[in-house]
Amino acid sequence: MSTNPLLQISTLKDQAVPFDLIKTEHFIPAIHQAITESKQKIEILKNQKTITFENSILALEQISETVDRASGIYFNLFSAEASEELQKLAQEISPILSAFASDISLDSDVFAKIKFVYDTRAQLKLTGEDLKLTEKMYKDFVRNGALLNSDQKEKLRALDQELSVLSPQFSENVLKATNAFELWITDKNDLAGLPDGAIEAAAISAKQKNKDSQWLFTLQGPSLIPFMTYCSNRALREKMWRASSTKSFGGEFDNSETVLKIVRLKYQRAQILGFKDHAHYALEERMAQKPETVFAFIDKLLEPSKKAAAKDLDDLKTFRKETESNAKDADSDIKPWDIAYYSEKLKEQKYSFNEEELRPYFKLENVIEGVFEHAKRLYGITFKPVTGVPVYHPDVKTFEVFDSENNNDYVGLFYMDFFPRETKKGGAWMTSYREQGLWGSEIKRPHVSIVCNFTKPTPTTPSLLSYDEVTTLFHEFGHALHGLLSKCKYKSLSGTNVFWDFVELPSQIMENWAKEKEGLDLFARHYETNAPIPNDLVEKIKRAENFQKGWMSLRQLSFAWLDMSWYSTDPATIKNVDDFETKAGDKTRLLPKENGTNMSCSFSHIFGGGYSAGYYSYKWAEVLDADAFEFFKEKGLFNKDVANKFKNTVLSQGGTKHPMDLYKEFRGREPDANSLLKRDGLV
């Protein structure tokens, strides 16, 4: 144990994670040892004769720091750099952590200490973050079973044990199913329509598997998306689409039973805790508060979105019929694997540009400089590359962050990991290796990471991002700013520890700067000539901004509706994953559902992540960001007064106040729900 790096205080700069020393075999012993030490501290806490905020609430806030650190590193690697051996550990680590959490949350003696401080908070004159932490901890314990009787507690403990292994099992299956599919192209004619960069990347992928003069396409985003957008071979597009739309539905990595188990267990858990279903349980701690509010919100957006989406679909059908030279294809119904392909062609006809025209202006290194420059102009922070900090993969870059407007104070450590690999799950996310707040007796700055799956460089070109990848980088960087700029006292209140339907505001508002000429001018330069992006191309981007916005809005709403349907339905009435999904999707569907396909079995957000009964938060936060960004546009995109107000109310406050109070502090009023519909051209 004395040599286990997960149990030692790091000697690196700012106690950074010593990734170079950590091995898979370190995790289980470290977590066992850390839990043992935490339990010893809990016994000391329980034996305190005099109860104070410091020896109960604050002590519990800090009691599992070593456990949290070791498990946090493990689960971050599980998502970003997981060998088969490391993946397997999840089935052992998750139940251990779940049992430890239950040991604390269901201990009546521990809860008695919390309840005493909570009940006497007025007499103790608790204020500010001390009061907020007390209230949050009391509610967290209640929501995790502290008021249940002994039998109910044991049932809850058993449910939590089962659930603890299902989420990582779901994610592992999706990753393996993604990696298992390969589309090999041997005839160059089948590459017709594809951009040179996508063809070169596919050739490199094939060569890495010792196959020359062939091309390999996979279900990873940088391979799948260009293929579906540009490949003129309809049969191959269908093959790729069906592979993507059947991930973990049937076969070796089937998630059907896992989905049913998750919804059943979460339903039972919610009922034991006194809630109608998991949606009611989850939404108690969200801005929306109850399912009825979410369904009403979705319905408000659904009618205009579906109407606009139907027109978008009709436009595609008409365009396809007018332009398709193959009479058989022209007369056949449009299919899901046609949407991206014909959308791109229609956009090119309407606005005289296609997405590939933009790539040369979005060299990854330039876009990184761009988001850093945005952070500097808005919030006065700078990013400096740092050496001597170990990383978990050679692709990962590290930066120290400083406050240039406040004595160049240290803000935190920032990791960036951009390229896909077979050991990394798909998508993009922000995470932390150390939350900002009190660790021991010292308030420490955060260690934040963003992880993406972007277009990789090739021997002939650097990493040239699609416009969608650019906005994704801005989005995740917005999350990172929320973590980095936190100025809270306690970790559990800091950074992104806010209501789930508020956490997307800092990320989604950042996307807006990548849509404005003033923002693009800071980084969009041709990778060969260094020429700035032409004004006419920026104008085309702006004119095309609402192109097929109805279809995209309906797509997001369909995911939100499916999520809420899963978690607000009595699972006893659900016999089959696909039958349920098909019925739930009727309300939002415009194209017939294709037999044999299923989205739920790879819906990682709600079954492998934390968005259960929360996927609506993306649209909810779009309302907030549309309304908030209007303030910036009124005063100036880089107006320091507005930026400081956003920084000091939203970005730095974490969960120390109710999010609506924070928003009203920034905006001076509640958000206008029509802002999103207006921005998207849906009203």
List, for residues 367-400, the tens digit of each pLDDT value. Answer: 999 999 999 999 999 999 999 999 999 999 999 9
Reduced to 3 states, what is the DSSP secondary structure of residue 450?
strand
611: nearest Cα among 309, 294, 306, 300: 294
| Token output for 582 | 């098909």
Alpha-carbon separation of residue 137 from 59, 434, 660 (angstroms): 12, 20, 20
Residues 462 and 582 grouped into a single domain: no
Residue 164, domain member (yes or no)? no
Does residue 91 belong to any structural domain of this protein? Answer: yes
Q: For residue 433, give the DSSP letter.
A: E
Crossing angle of helices 221-230 and 234-245, in 10° steps, is 140
C-alpha span between 337 and 262 (Å, rounded): 30
For residues 370 and 498, membership in a common domain is answered with yes
Same domain, 647 and 507: yes
* Of the residues 222, 245, 268, the one at which a domain ends: 245
The answer to the question of residue 419 being in a domain is yes
Q: Which of 565, 580, 615 is the last residue of a domain?
A: 615
> Do the domain assignments include residue 174?
no
Q: Does residue 286 share a domain with residue 196?
A: no
Based on the fold, state whether residues 309 and 279 are members of the same structural domain.
Answer: yes
Catalytic residues: 476
**C-alpha span between 486 and 406 (Å, rounded):** 15
Query: How many CA within 13 A on the CB side of residue 521?
Result: 7
Q: Which two tokens stand for residue 604?
A: 């990682």
pLDDT at position 213, please?
Answer: 93
Low-confidence ranges of the chain (pLDDT < 70): 1, 326-331
557 and 539 within one domain:
no
How many residues are there in the chain?
A: 683
334 and 479 housed in the same domain:
no
Beta bridge partners of 443: 438
Same domain, 348 and 371: no
Q: What is the distance between the alpha carbons of residues 643 and 650, in angstroms, rounded to a whole number?
A: 10
Q: Which residue has the tokens 């009787």?
A: 149
List, as one string, the DSSP characters of 212-247.
TT-EEE-SSHHHHHHHHHH---HHHHHHHHHHHHTT
Cα–Cα distances (Å) from 433 to 16, 54, 62, 218, in that order, read 9, 25, 16, 30
Name, in order, each residue with C-beta under 8 angstroms of 523's C-beta and a sequence gap of 6 or more.
Answer: 366, 367, 369, 370, 371, 373
Residues 657 and 636 sit within 8 Å (Cβ to Cβ): no
- Residue span of the structural domain in which 95 resides: 13-105+107-147
User: How confident is the model at residue 1, as a pLDDT?
Assistant: 62
Together in a domain, 82 and 122 = yes
How distant, in Å, are the alpha carbons of 51, 104, 134 from that of 111? 12, 8, 12
Counted domains in the chain: 4
Assigned domain for 175 exists: no
Are 348 and 369 within one domain? Answer: no
From CA 134, how far away is CA 129, in angstroms rounded? Answer: 8
Q: Do 438 and 562 belong together in one domain? A: no
Nearest to 132 by CA among 653, 665, 649: 653
CB burial string 64-101: b at 16+ within 10 A, e below: bbbbbbbbbbbbbbbbbbbeeebbebbeebbbbbbebb
Q: Could you tell me if 269 and 159 are in contact, meaning their C-beta atoms sit under 8 angstroms apart?
A: yes
Residue 643 belongs to domain with CATH number: 1.10.1370.40
- Whole-angstrom Cα Rg for the chain: 25
The confidence score (pLDDT) of residue 675 equals: 82
Domain membership flag for residue 316: yes
Determine the pLDDT at residue 676.
86
Residue type present at position 33: Q
The verdict on residue 475 lying in a domain is yes
Q: How far is CA 306 from CA 37, 100, 316, 563, 592, in A?
A: 56, 47, 15, 18, 15
CATH of the domain at 37: 1.20.1050.40
Domain boundary among 615, 647, 663: 615
Q: Which of 391, 371, 395, 367 is nearest to 382 (CA)?
A: 371
343 alpha-carbon distance from chain centroid: 26
Q: Give the CB-side neighbour count of residue 382, counting CA atoms within 13 A.
A: 11
Contacts of 603 (CB under 8 A, 6+ apart): 559, 562, 563
Determine the Cα–Cα distance for residues 39 and 99; give it in Å rounded to an integer.
Answer: 12
Q: Looking at 485-616, list the stretches that DSSP marks H as alpha helix, in order from N- to C-terminal side.
A: 505-511, 517-520, 535-543, 549-568, 577-584, 604-607
581: CATH: 1.10.1370.10
Put residue 532 in one of left, alpha, beta given phi > 0 → left and psi -120 to 50 → alpha.
Answer: beta
Task: Write the pLDDT tens digit of every residue in 133-147.
Answer: 999 999 999 999 999
In a domain, 368, yes or no: yes
Backbone angles phi, psi at 444, to 5 degrees: -110, 155
Co-location of 405 and 528 in the same domain: yes
Considering only CA atoms, which of 97, 107, 96 is closest in space to residue 56? 107
Which amino acid does the sequence have at 30? A
